Amino acid sequence: MFKFSTTVALVVATALPLAASAQTTSTTPAKLSVTASFSILADLTRAVGGDRVDVQTLVGADQDAHVFEPSPLDAKKLLQAKVLVSNGLGFEPWLGKLVKSVSYSGIQAVASKGVKPMEAEGDDHDHDHSHAHGAADPHAWQDPTNVITYVRNISAALSQADPTGAPVYQANSATYITQLRQFDTWAQAQFAALPEAKRRVITSHDAFGYFAKHYKLRFRAPQGISSEAEASAKDVAALVRQIKREKTKAVFFENMSNPKLITQLAAEAGVKVGPALYADALSAPGQPGATYLEMMRYNVNTLVAGMQQN
């Protein structure tokens, strides 16, 4: 007992001056609690929210949102949030159930709202499309001009939850949108420097439809728009023939996907697999794709280096 009360006394004694100084030096209210469905949205939300937000992530770095299964900890993260930021377009098939299970009543922001969805490619695939995707390709963030819409939607949701912070969110958004446009101009120039015949790539699953359309590249993948889908032997064999025929050297796997399939495919086609591209998740801190802009720059440099060998 004696030991216990000493500890309490110590805690009280050290906590008091802190509380007093916090009161006199700052009038900042508690941070706005936001939960983002996956790592890329968490980064965008931090870019818009800055110091005013505390962001939790459900699907973390190098993890695959297509096949995610929420844990009790994820339910807790959602319950604490005033704002939930999701991608939409069928990217998070597990989210609706999670929202319902905790009776989440906060603001729900769908970051892709207003983006023109692309139809998912791969109608020639004869494997079973059992995943809950519908016809839309969810990977809209791969086109940085779509991310301008994402940022505006996130800014609107944060402003709704925290009207006092609205001017800050607007200013941060403007700064970030400038960075997105600068990145886009740079990326256009990198790809434009490549002869058109070289602008083709093989990856694990169809995550780069928006990217390919925006930068006028050709991507093929053995798996469809969800990494959940099984690639059929027929699809893989066709892709191997195509790689051989076109002498494609730019073959990549993705940071959150199992590299087994693409490694096997590359071995059959007699080509070397390039480094991982960041598709549906950021990298861990300290790795080359720790923020959205870093991941996009890394992908462009990696893709250009690969396509130069085509």
Q: Which residues are at the interface with Zn ion (CB under 5 A)? A: 207, 280
In the complex, the smallest distance separating the C-beta of residue 88 from Zn ion, rounded to whole angstroms, is 14
Residue 17: Cβ within 10 Å count: 9
In the complex, the smallest distance separating the C-beta of residue 137 from Zn ion, rounded to whole angstroms, is 9
In the complex, the smallest distance separating the C-beta of residue 207 from Zn ion, rounded to whole angstroms, is 4
Considering the complex, state which of residue 74 and residue 280 has its C-beta at the smaller distance from Zn ion. Answer: 280
Considering the complex, state which of residue 150 and residue 169 has its C-beta at the smaller distance from Zn ion. Answer: 150
Considering the complex, state which of residue 43 and residue 280 has its C-beta at the smaller distance from Zn ion. Answer: 280
Considering the complex, state which of residue 53 and residue 95 has its C-beta at the smaller distance from Zn ion. Answer: 95
At CA 19, angle to CA 16 and CA 22, rounded to 5? Answer: 150
In the complex, the smallest distance separating the C-beta of residue 139 from Zn ion, rounded to whole angstroms, is 6
Q: CB-side exposure of 306: number of CA atoms within 13 Å?
A: 26
Considering the complex, state which of residue 135 and residue 197 has its C-beta at the smaller distance from Zn ion. Answer: 135
Residue 95: Cβ within 10 Å count: 24
Strands (DSSP E) contained in the chain are 32-38, 53-59, 83-86, 107-110, 118-119, 136-137, 200-202, 218-220
At CA 255, angle to CA 184 and CA 214, rounded to 5? Answer: 25
Q: 155: which residues sit within 8 A by CB, 6+ positions away?
A: 48, 169, 170, 172, 173
In the complex, the smallest distance separating the C-beta of residue 77 from Zn ion, rounded to whole angstroms, is 22
In the complex, the smallest distance separating the C-beta of residue 93 from Zn ion, rounded to whole angstroms, is 12
Tokens of 1: 């007992």
Considering the complex, state which of residue 173 and residue 302 has its C-beta at the smaller distance from Zn ion. Answer: 302
Q: Which residues pair with 54 in a beta bridge?
A: 33
